[in-house]
Every structure is written in structure tokens, then in C-alpha cells.
Amino acid sequence: MKQRIAGFLFDWLVGAYLAVMLHRIVWHELLLGIEGPTSSGASSAAFIAGIPDWLVYGAVGLALASAASISKVSLALLVQGKLERRMWQRTAALHVASLVLSLTFITGWVVTKISLVDMFSGERLRAAGRIFSSLLQPEFAILPQALSAIVETVYLAFMATVLALPASFVLAFLSARNLMRGNVWTRATYTILRALTNFTRSIEPLVWAVIFTVWVKVGPFPGMLALMVHTISSLAKQYSEQIEDIDPGPMEAIASTGARPLQIVWFGVVPQVFIPFLSFTIYRWDINVRMATVIGLVGGGGIGTMLNQYQMLAQWREEGLIVLVIALVVWAMDYISARIREALA
Amino acid sequence: MLLDIRSLSKTYPNGTQALKSVSFTVERGEFVAVIGLSGSGKSTLLRCINRLIEPTSGTILFEGHDVTHIKGEALRRYRQRIGMIFQQFNLIGQASVLKNVLMGALGSVSTIDSILGRFPQSLHEMAMRNLQIVGIADKASVRADSLSGGQQQRVAIARALMQEPQLLLADEPVASLDPATSHSVMRYLGYINRQLGTTIICNLHFLSLVREYATRAIALRNGEIVFDGSPSEITEEWFRHIYGEDAVEVEIR
């Protein structure tokens, strides 16, 4: 029953989505040639007078979903694997699926305003050529500044990683399902912490950086804070997945000696996860160096900020040198961290 | 009487009835072999005794005390008196042999001291003595996972001896070992039983090992005791009753 309701809702959503694409994109933009943003105001009049668009889309979706549930030509049934190979409904549903996919592609093309004319007109090509040739002649006069900026970035990433470590370590054990099965309280802690780390992790470090540049003064410090917050939740997740993967045997053996809970974790779990933790941590530092560069663009300090400054001044030769320095350092970090992780494995 | 199990039952959340009203008593100094097919409830029974698994109903009396529902510190003190070894040895492979043996004494060392690695000298000496008992004192400083299976099981025995246990539970201790190594491990268990007076309850697959080492056999079939007596009393008829009509006895020499 639950599955059938979910399936009907799924078909409804897909139906409404089809209606939106057919009306907004195919009818308005392609057939009538009205530009995107202006169409929303005019569309009610063009469609059915007095009824808001979303209601019409919903109604069309509902009609399509009902038709799907009667005829069994349903994408939901297809996804749930309930349409067998020789049923005609399966073939029909596959056709509907390919229609949805092609319309999505057309919509995507319109929405992203892909324009080959813009890309390959003579004037545009000349502008791009100017920038590329400047980028390829890096201005070495600013090398000392660029080096000190990238060192700042590497340290920023290092501090973000190191300061995140203790919190990630503790959080990892508290959000590992196999360790938190004990009672209602531990299970509640597990659920809450999982939700919390998933939430903070889903916010990009770039957004954290914007928040922290408002909170503390612009510079490397807010950049470090942004990376640290993201690192805590990312490492906590990777660590806890590693903990959930351990061999439970040693834990059972330690428990059977009459050890206390903390001793069971320290002796039965930590030795098994220590090396993988180290490997994740080094990899995270490597990722953080790359992220720190991007965070610098919004005022998080380091080489990113420098890159942003020269871009504003349109000094493309200086920009070229900065890009070169970033590429070299990121490549070197990547290489070193890969070698260390190899040695650990 | 060391252990008194009364109508012990265990039903898992998925509905499997692993133990159905199992009752028996164990006297000090016995070497009890628990036999039966895989899935007959042997492992569940052992883990209920030291409460790694919570029984659904029934009573466990240890030295006359009801331990069926004890919790926290009382449960830990109870577990300290019962050693356990496992089919997969369950050592910490990344740690040294000596450290693994010391872990048997975690219950008597404070959390802080144990995490900082401060085990008293007396425990170090005891660990070395126990390694000598199982004949691998020379391996004390090597990583546990560099040892062979038989050696790892002997380290596990030494770890259990750190608890100076009244009772030693052995869950298929030789099922992952080759025949020659199996006998070596079983001989150490026999030595501990006779020389140190430790009571042993041991899950075993091979009847030949049961006849050679155990003083008593308990057979489980579908979670119920179907035989309780001397290993020599297990005739061919009993054997088929325990293991099913198609079973053929295989010997391990």
C-alpha cells in the first residue's frame, strides 16, 4: 500500500514536471519565442485565464498519474521493477521515460542559454585569445608575493585540518551505528549527530566562508574557520563509516574480559581504524589546499584573494603566474599525499 | 556447583529460537564439550553465559548468585571471572602479543591508566608467565597478526588467563585450525583444566576431540539439550540422533 501511494506521488510529480516543460519551454520559448523571465507573468493569460499556472500543472500531473495507474503505463512501476519484460506497458513506459529525458535535455539547453554564436563569433574569439596569450606569458615579477600567498593557503588548509581533528575524532565514534546501538539515549545521540553532520557537510565551504567573513574580519582566519567546519563534518563521516566497517570480533573479545566501554572502544576499535584515519586526514589536507584557493576568492585570504584582486584589475599576465603557482602546488600536494597514503596502506 | 543454568531461552528479534528452555549444571573442574550442528545454539549458549548476548528468559546462577540481569560494574566484575576464546581468535592484530595478553587484565586497570599504557609491573610479569604457559613467550614483542592461527589462539588463551578465570568459555577454538594445530591448542586447554583447575565449557565440532579431551558432553539440537553425559556414552545411535540420520562421523587425528 505504502509503495503504491509513493508510486502514485512519483507519477504525479513526473506528470506535473512534463506539463511545466511542455508549457514553459516547448510552447512559450520554442514555439512562441518569448524569453524565459518575461513569460511567467504573461503565461496565465496565454494559458487558462484566471487560474494560476501551478494549479494547472498540478491538475495535469494528477490526470496523467491517474491515467498511468489505470493503464499501468507508469514510470513508478518501471522504477519499482514491477513491469515485466514482455508487457506492452513496459515498452510504453520506456518511451515515456525517454520523452521525459529528451525534454529535460531541451529544457537544460534553453535554461543554460547555450549559444554557439556567443562562443565562436570573431570578436569573442579575439577577446579570449588576448586573455589566453597573456595567461601563457606569466609575469614573474610578482613571484615572491604569489609564493608567500600560496604558503599562507597551505598553512590555512593545514590549520583547518589539524584543528578539526579532535572534534571529528570524537564525533566519529558518537555517530558510528555499531557503537551506539546500546540504548535509547545512545541511539538518539547517533541520529541527532548524523543529521547535524550531514547538514553542515551539505553546506559548501564557500558558503561558510561568506558567513565567517561577515562574522570575523576578512582574511585567512574566516577562510580557515570555513574549511574547519566543513572538515569536521566530512572527516567525522569518513571516520564513522570506517568504524562501522571494523571486525566486531576484537570488540567482543575485549568486552568479554570485563573491560569498561571506553576501554572496549580504545582497545577494540581504535587500533583497527588508526591507519585509515591517518590516510583520510592527509587526503583531507590535500583537498583543503584546493578548497582554500577557491575560498580565497570570496575573501578567505591566501592565493585565492590575490587571484581575485588581479582579475578585478584585468592584469592577465599576473593572473597567469598565480594560476601556474597554484597548479604546481596542488600537483605537488596531490603527489606527496598519494605517496604517503600508499606507504600507509 | 559453579554454574547453574535454568530453563534458559533465547529468541532473536528475527524470530529465530536459538535456545529453548536449556537447563544444566556445571561442577568445578569439569571440561564440558558442547556439540551439535552449526546453528544448533552452541554459540548463543556460550554468549548467554557471560551475557554478551541477553537471554530472553531463564536464570543463570554463577557460584549461587543470580547473574541473569546484573548490569554495569557488577556485570563487568562478573565477566572478569570468565575467560573467553573465539574461533577467529579476535586478537588486536595491530598490537604486540604482549599488549594483547595485557588486554585480558583491562578490568583491573583504570580507564586512564590503560589508555596511557600504564599497566603495573606485576601484570607485565603475569603476562609473560601466561605466555610461557602456552609456550610462546619468545613472540612477546611481535605483532599479533604476524603469528600463525595456532599461535594466535594460544595468545588468546594467555589473554584469557590474565583474568585468572574460574570458568573458560571456548567458542569453536579449533574450527579454523588444521588437525595438528587443533590438538596442540586442545592440549593447552586440557593442561589449564587439569593443572590450574579452571572449569572449561568448549564448543566443538569433532567428536574425536570431545572423546579425547572432555570429561562430559552436552549435545544441542535445534536449541534443546538432547544428550548430557560422558563422551564415551555417545554411541552411533546417539550420534545420528544429534547430527541427523545422514551424518557420518569424521575423525581428526
The tens digit of pLDDT for each residue in B124-170 reads 999 999 999 999 999 999 999 999 999 999 999 999 999 999 999 99
B152 and B174, same domain (yes or no): no
In this prediction, residue B179 carries a pLDDT of 87
B77 and B119, same domain (yes or no): no
B244 and B216, same domain (yes or no): yes
In this prediction, residue B28 carries a pLDDT of 95
Task: Please report whether residue B86 resides in a domain.
Answer: no
B176 and B230, same domain (yes or no): yes
Burial class of A8 by CB neighbour count within 10 A (0 to 12, 13 to 18, 19+) = middle
Task: Please report whether residue B123 resides in a domain.
Answer: yes
In this prediction, residue A1 carries a pLDDT of 80
B159 and B175, same domain (yes or no): no
For an interface test with A, the pick among B92, B130, B166 (most A C-beta atoms closer than 10 Å) comes out as: B92
C-beta atoms surrounding A22 within 10 Å: 16
Contact B94 A274 (CB under 8 A): yes
Burial class of B2 by CB neighbour count within 10 A (0 to 12, 13 to 18, 19+) = middle
Task: Please check whether residue B173 touches A, CB under 8 A.
Answer: no
Supply φ then ψ for residue B6, to 5 degrees: -120, 120
Task: Please report whether residue B47 resides in a domain.
Answer: yes
Confidence tier at B214 by pLDDT (50, 70, 90): very high
Confidence tier at A297 by pLDDT (50, 70, 90): confident
Task: Tell me which of A42 and A245 has the higher pLDDT.
Answer: A245
Query: In this structure, which amino acid lies at residue A258?
Result: G
In the three-class reduction of DSSP (H, G, I as helix; E, B as strand; rest coil), residue B57 is classed as strand
Confidence tier at B242 by pLDDT (50, 70, 90): confident
Helix axes A122-135, A316-344, angle to 10 degrees: 60
Is the per-residue pLDDT at B183 higher than 50? yes
Confidence tier at A236 by pLDDT (50, 70, 90): very high
Task: Please report whether residue B24 resides in a domain.
Answer: yes
The tens digit of pLDDT for each residue in A126-144 reads 888 888 898 889 988 999 9
CATH at B184: 3.40.50.300
CA-to-CA separations, B28 to A126, A254, B32, in angstroms, rounded: 95, 25, 11
Is the per-residue pLDDT at B174 higher than 80? yes
**Which of B164, B181, B215 corresponds to the end of one domain?**
B164
Is the per-residue pLDDT at B253 higher than 70? no
B184 and B120, same domain (yes or no): no
Contact B76 A260 (CB under 8 A): yes
Chain A hits for B160, CB-CB cut-off 8 Å, are 257
Confidence tier at A158 by pLDDT (50, 70, 90): very high
C-beta atoms surrounding B192 within 10 Å: 22
Q: Which domains does chain A have, with CATH numbers?
A: 2-114 (no CATH), 135-344 (1.10.3720.10)
B154 and B37, same domain (yes or no): no
By the 8 A CB rule, do A257 and B159 touch?
Answer: yes
A227 grid coordinates: 574549511
Helix axes A316-344, A143-174, angle to 10 degrees: 40
| Alpha-helix runs per DSSP H in B81-137 | 97-102, 111-115, 121-133
Contact A252 B90 (CB under 8 A): yes
Confidence tier at A36 by pLDDT (50, 70, 90): low
Average pLDDT, stretch B232-251?
78
Which of A108-122, B10-24, B123-137, B176-190 has the weakest average pLDDT?
A108-122
Q: What is the mean pLDDT of chain B?
A: 92
Which of A243-252, A297-306, B108-117 has the weakest average pLDDT?
A297-306
For an interface test with A, the pick among B47, B85, B86, B90 (most A C-beta atoms closer than 10 Å) comes out as: B90
Query: Rounded CA gap, B237 and A263, in Å?
Result: 48
Confidence tier at A38 by pLDDT (50, 70, 90): very low
Chain B hits for A268, CB-CB cut-off 8 Å, are 92
Task: Please check whether residue B174 touches A, CB under 8 A.
Answer: no
Instruction: State the smallest CA–CA distance between residue B108 and chain A in angstroms.
Output: 8
Q: What is the mean pLDDT of chain A?
A: 88
B214 and B245, same domain (yes or no): yes
Nearest to A249 among B75, B88, B94 (CB): B88
| Residues above pLDDT 90, as percent of chain B | 83
Average pLDDT, stretch B73-94?
95
Instruction: State the smallest CA–CA distance between residue A251 and chain B in angstroms.
Output: 8
Sign for the pseudo-dihedral over CA of A29, A33, A38, A40: negative
Instruction: State the smallest CA–CA distance between residue A286 and chain B in angstroms.
Output: 27
In this prediction, residue A227 carries a pLDDT of 93
Chain A hits for B92, CB-CB cut-off 8 Å, are 250, 267-268, 271-272
Q: B156: domain range?
A: 92-164
Question: Checking DSSP bridges between strand B224-229 and strand B216-221, what pairing results, if any?
Answer: antiparallel
Is the per-residue pLDDT at A45 higher than 50? no
Contact A253 B52 (CB under 8 A): no
In this prediction, residue B37 carries a pLDDT of 87
CA-to-CA separations, A34 to A44, A109, A115, A123, A315, in angstroms, rounded: 14, 15, 17, 27, 39
Chain A hits for B144, CB-CB cut-off 8 Å, are none
Task: Please check whether residue B115 touches A, CB under 8 A.
Answer: yes
Task: Please report whether residue B70 resides in a domain.
Answer: yes
Chain B hits for A263, CB-CB cut-off 8 Å, are 106, 111, 114-115
B135 and B39, same domain (yes or no): no
B75 and B171, same domain (yes or no): yes
Task: Please report whether residue B87 resides in a domain.
Answer: no
Is the per-residue pLDDT at B82 higher than 90? yes
Tally of structural domains, chain B: 2
Task: Please check whether residue B95 touches A, CB under 8 A.
Answer: yes
Query: Rounded CA gap, A316 and A133, in Å?
Result: 9
**Chain A residues with a Cβ under 8 Å from any Cβ in chain B:** 247, 249-250, 252-260, 262-263, 266-268, 271-272, 274-275
B55 and B177, same domain (yes or no): yes
**Which of B146, B164, B182 corresponds to the end of one domain?**
B164
Nearest to A266 among B89, B115, B156 (CB): B115
In this prediction, residue A41 carries a pLDDT of 47
Task: Please check whether residue B122 touches A, CB under 8 A.
Answer: no
**Which of B164, B180, B197 corresponds to the end of one domain?**
B164
From edge to edge, which strands make up the β-sheet containing B3-11?
Answer: B17-26, B3-11, B57-62, B65-66
**Closest-CA residue in chain A for B112?**
A263
Chain A hits for B114, CB-CB cut-off 8 Å, are 263, 266-267
Instruction: State the smallest CA–CA distance between residue B181 and chain A in angstroms.
Output: 21
The tens digit of pLDDT for each residue in B36-60 reads 988 889 999 999 999 999 999 999 9
Confidence tier at A4 by pLDDT (50, 70, 90): confident
B204 grid coordinates: 566443538
| Vertex B87 angle, CA B82 and B88, to 5° | 110
Task: Please report whether residue B56 resides in a domain.
Answer: yes
Average pLDDT, stretch B84-89?
95
Question: Checking DSSP bridges between strand B17-26 and strand B3-11, what pairing results, if any?
Answer: antiparallel
Q: List CB contacts of A298: < 8 A, sequence separation 6 or more.
A: A206, A209, A210, A213, A304
Contact B106 A272 (CB under 8 A): no
Task: Please check whether residue B204 touches A, CB under 8 A.
Answer: no
Chain A hits for B103, CB-CB cut-off 8 Å, are 254, 257, 259, 267
Average pLDDT, stretch A141-163?
92
For an interface test with B, the pick among A181, A256, A270 (most B C-beta atoms closer than 10 Å) comes out as: A256
ipTM tops the 0.95 cut: no
The tens digit of pLDDT for each residue in A63-107 reads 999 998 888 888 888 888 888 888 888 899 999 999 999 999 999
B100 and B217, same domain (yes or no): no
- The distance in angstroms from the start CA to the end CA of chain B is 34
Q: In sequence order, what are the beta bridge partners of B62?
A: B3, B65
Query: Rounded CA gap, B143 and A204, in Å?
Result: 42
Average pLDDT, stretch B192-215?
92
In this prediction, residue B240 carries a pLDDT of 82
Task: Please report whether residue B231 resides in a domain.
Answer: yes
Average pLDDT, stretch A238-256?
94
